[in-house]
Amino acid sequence: MYDVVIIGGGPAGLTAGIYAARAKLKTLLIERGMTGGLAATTELIENYPGFSEGIGGPELMSRMEAQARRFGLEILNSNVETLQKENLSFIIKTEDTELLTRTVIIATGAQPQRLNVKGEETFHGRGVSYCATCDGAFFKDKHVAVVGGGDAAVEEAMFLTRFAQKVFIIHRRGELRATKIVQERARQNPRLEFIWHSIVEEITGNETVNGVRIKDVRTGQARELAVDGVFIYIGYIPNSSLVKELVKLDEQGYIITDTNMQTSCPGIFAAGDVRQKSLRQVVTAVADGAIAAVSAEKYLERNR
Task: Report d(CA 273, CA 64) in Å as an integer.
Answer: 17
Q: Which helix H or strand E contains 62, and what residues bound it?
A: helix 57-70
Q: Which contacts (CB < 8 Å, 24+ apart) does range 96-100 have? A: 99/2, 99/5, 99/28, 100/1, 100/2
Phi then psi for residue 89, to 5 deg, are: -130, 180
> How many CB atoms sit inside 10 A of residue 47's CB?
12
Residues 6+ away with beta carbon under 8 Å from 2 = 26, 27, 28, 99, 100, 101, 102
CA-only gyration radius of the chain, Å: 21
How far is Cα of residue 128 from the mean position of the Cα atoms in its chain?
18
Task: Report d(CA 226, CA 45) in Å as an integer.
Answer: 31
Task: Report d(CA 113, CA 34) in Å as an integer.
Answer: 20
Tally of CA atoms within 13 A in the half-sphere of 145 that contains its CB: 28
Residues 25 and 300 sit within 8 Å (Cβ to Cβ): yes
3-class secondary structure, 55: strand
Helix axes 11-22, 57-70, angle to 10 degrees: 20
Q: How far is CA 14 from CA 17, 20, 153, 172, 184, in A?
A: 5, 10, 26, 36, 33
User: Which of the residues are catalytic?
Assistant: 131, 134-135
Phi then psi for residue 275, to 5 deg, are: -95, 145
